[in-house]
């Protein structure tokens, strides 16, 4: 039974991640102001996905957690993606 042996993330690392996240936010706003048609969703989601990945990895410590937990988190997103994709098999072809 392990007791509180979590990795300590340095303040400056957290600060840099925040700067990165804010930059990505402004990027999203800029990019979506252009009319990219169907790609605007994709780009917005990709950037959001990257931001999410940063929050998960650094703020939520996943980068420093054991492999099992990282695999589980990945599987959740895969499961959700599959559910959306499969539902669209219905809607796309009706």
Partner 1 sequence: MIMSEKHHVEEHRDDDAKKLGMWLFIFTELLLFGGLFLVYSIYRAKFPADFHAGSLELSVTIGAINTIVLLFSSMTVAMALTAIQKGNKKLSLIMISITLLMAFVFLVNKYFEWGHKFEMGLYPGSALIQHLDRGFLLYFSLYFFMTGLHALHIIVGMVLLFICLFKVKSGNVHTENYTFLENGALYWHLVDLIWIFLFPLMYLIS
Partner 2 sequence: MSKGTEKTEYVSYLDHQGKYKGIFAWIFATDHKRIALLYMYSIAAFFFIGAFLGLAMRIELFAPGETIMKPQTYNGIFTVHGIIMIFMVVIPGLSAVFGNFFLPILIGAKDVAFPKLNRFSWWIFIAGSIMAVASQFLKHGPPDTGWTFYAPYSTTTGTNVIMATTAAFVLGFSSILTGLNFIVTIHQMRAPGMKFFNMPLFPWAIYATAWIQLLATPIIGITLVMLIAERLFGIGFFDPNLGGDPLLYQHLFWIYSHPAVYVMILPAMGVITEIIPTFCQRKIYGYKAIALSSLAIAGVGFLVWGHHMYTSGMSEQARWFFSLLTFIVAVPSAIKVFNWLMTMYKGSIDVKPPFLFALAFIFLFIIGGTTGLLLGSVATNVQVHDTSFVVAHFHYIIFGGMGFAFFAAIHYWFPKMYGKMYDFKRANIAWGILFVGFNLLYFPQFIIGIQGMPRRYFDYLPQFQPAQIVSTIGGFILVAGLILMVYNLIQGARKGEAAPANPWHGTTLEWQIPSPPSLENFDEEPVFNANPYDYE
Q: Which residues are at the interface with partner 2 (CB under 8 A)?
A: 1, 76, 79, 82-83, 86-87, 89-94
The site for partner 1, by CB under 8 A, has a size of 48
Which of the choices partner 2, partner 1, none does residue 82 contact, using the CB cut-off of 5 to 8 A by kind?
partner 2
Contacts of 48 (CB under 8 A, 6+ apart): 28
CA gyration radius for the chain? Answer: 17
- Choose among 93, 84, 25, 21: nearest CA to 57: 21
- Residue 79's H or E segment, with its range, is helix 67-92
CA dist list (Å): 74 to 3, 40, 51, 79 = 25, 25, 15, 9
Which of the choices partner 1, partner 2, none does residue 28 contact, using the CB cut-off of 5 to 8 A by kind?
partner 1
Looking at the Cβ atoms of 2 and 19, the one nearer to partner 2 is: 2
Contact footprint for partner 1 (CB under 8 A): 1-4, 6, 8-11, 14-15, 17-18, 21-22, 25, 28-29, 32-36, 40-41, 44-45, 47-48, 51-52, 55-56, 58-60, 69, 72-73, 76-77, 79-80, 83-84, 87-88, 91
């Amino acid at each position: 039974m392990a007791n509180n042996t979590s990795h300590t993330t340095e303040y400056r690392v957290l600060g840099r991640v925040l700067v990165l996240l804010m930059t990505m936010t402004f990027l999203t706003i800029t990019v979506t102001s252009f009319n990219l048609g169907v790609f605007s969703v994709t780009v917005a989601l990709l950037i959001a996905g990257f931001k999410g990945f940063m929050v998960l990895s650094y703020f939520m410590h996943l980068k420093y957690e054991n492999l099992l937990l990282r695999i589980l988190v990945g599987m959740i997103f895969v499961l959700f993606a599959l559910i959306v994709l499969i539902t669209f098999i219905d809607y796309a072809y009706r």
